Amino acid sequence: MSLYEHIPHPHIARRAKQGPVKVADQAATHTAYARFNSWLGLKVTTGVGSMTCAYLFTALALVSLPAAIHSHDLIVIVSWIAQTLIQLVLLSVILFGQGLQSQAADARSAATYSDAEAILATATQVQEHLAAQDAHLLTQDKKLGTLVDQIGAIISHLTEPRGQA
């Protein structure tokens, strides 16, 4: 018997089955259409969000650079920089950076999950240790109760009036 009964929180069992949350887990899966959209969006984002694609977009943007410069029109040149180079190239670079950030988020999530599992295991061991201490304390309490009763009996015996015969 223990002085305390540990009742694990229901979330612990759910988390053990679920595992750490990953970015890919956030994709919609409730219908075939949603699954397709998630799959296609991820493929396009992964493809466009690569440095290879950024280099290809840079090459594509540079094709129209001579025409923009040859126009000698400041608005055309600024427009080429803003609309062609920056938007086209930075799109891939930003998506690539976001991909790295999501990988880091997944790694942090897995590390946090592992830390939580370790803490839970330690807390479970503490609960087992406390249960063992409870059992030992109850045994000691029974022994102490017996000793107190014995000492009480001895004191009663010693304090009884003697020899009234």
Q: Three-state SS for 7? A: coil
Determine the Cα–Cα distance for residues 12 and 14; give it in Å rounded to an integer.
5
Of 54, 138, 53, 44, residue with least CA distance to 89: 54
- What pLDDT, on the 0 to 100 scale, is given for residue 64? 92
pLDDT-wise least confident of 15-19, 53-57, 60-64, 69-73 = 15-19
Query: What pLDDT sits at residue 103?
Result: 86
Domain boundaries, the chain: 10-128
Q: What percent of the chain has pLDDT over 90?
A: 35
For residue range 126-163, what is the model confidence (pLDDT) as tens digits? Answer: 988 988 899 999 999 999 999 999 999 999 999 888 76
From the list 75, 55, 76, 54, the residue with the least C-alpha distance to 65 is 76
Q: What percent of the chain has pLDDT over 70?
A: 96
Q: Quick check: 99 and 49 in contact, CB under 8 A?
A: yes
AA identity, residue 27: A
> How far apart are the C-alpha atoms of 11 and 118, rounded to whole Å?
16
Quote the pLDDT of residue 68: 92
Residue 54: Cβ-neighbour burial (10 angstroms; 0-12, 13-18, 19+):
buried
Instruction: Provide mean pLDDT across the span 21-45.
Output: 83
| pLDDT for the residue numbered 77 | 93
The pLDDT mean for the chain works out to 87
Distance of CA 23 to the CA centre of its chain: 11
Q: What local confidence, expressed as pLDDT, does residue 154 receive?
A: 94
Question: How is 46-109 classified by DSSP, letter by letter?
Answer: HHHTSHHHHHHHHHHHHHTHHHHHHTT-HHHHHHIIIIIIIHHHHHHHHHHHHHHHHHHHHHHH
